[in-house]
Amino acid sequence: MKCLPCGAAELVRDTRDMPYTYKGESTIIPDVTGDFCLACGEVITDAEESRRTMALMLEFNKQVNASMLLDRLTHHCYILETGNESYRFRQSSEEAKVRIQAREKLKRSGKTPEDSLYEENLF
Ligand SMILES: [Zn+2]
């Protein structure tokens, strides 16, 4: 099959690491399987491989955006590390601990989450 975008070359089935750049930051999308054009570099993948590579690209985009956001927020700041535990982290850890204990207790009892809601008279 000829390359649809350029029409210049036959496509070659292969698995390659593909470079990917977003906002000037680069990464490698590993093991991309598809039909590669040796003339223009186009790659045509099936739907599943397309979903996999898109998910990796979007994840990389998120990392780049988070990094840029932090860079902007801290541009004219001095970061002081006090060594104290964050109260936000402590609070969320305690809340998670209570949720996990409740879930494990429910698992051990063999009841469904709906059963426990009835028992607690929430419905
Ligand atoms: Zn091509």
pLDDT digits 0-9 by tens, 52-84: 999 999 999 999 999 999 999 888 888 888 888
Cα 45 to averaged position of ligand 1 atoms, centre (Å): 14
Amino acid at 67: S
Place of tokens 């982290």: 89
Q: pLDDT grade, residue 120 (50/70/90)?
A: low
Q: pLDDT grade, residue 122 (50/70/90)?
A: low
pLDDT digits 0-9 by tens, 2-44: 898 899 889 999 999 999 999 999 999 999 999 999 999 899 9
The CA distance from 65 to 22, in Å, is 9
Q: pLDDT grade, residue 106 (50/70/90)?
A: confident
21 burial type by CB count under 10 A (0-12 exposed, 13-18 middle, 19+ buried) = exposed
The CA distance from 114 to 123, in Å, is 9
Question: Mapping DSSP to helix (H, G, I), strand (E, B) and coil, where does residue 82 land?
Answer: coil
Place of tokens 């060594």: 83
pLDDT at 66: 96
Do the Cβ atoms of 32 and 49 come closer than 8 Å? yes
Tell whether the model's pLDDT for residue 116 goes beyond 70.
Answer: no
H helical segments located in 1-123:
47-73, 87-109, 113-119
Residue 116, φ and ψ in degrees, nearest 5: -70, -30
- Residues with a beta carbon under 5 angstroms from ion ligand 1: 3, 6, 37, 39-40, 42
Cα 24 to averaged position of ligand 1 atoms, centre (Å): 24
Tell whether the model's pLDDT for residue 114 goes beyond 60.
Answer: yes
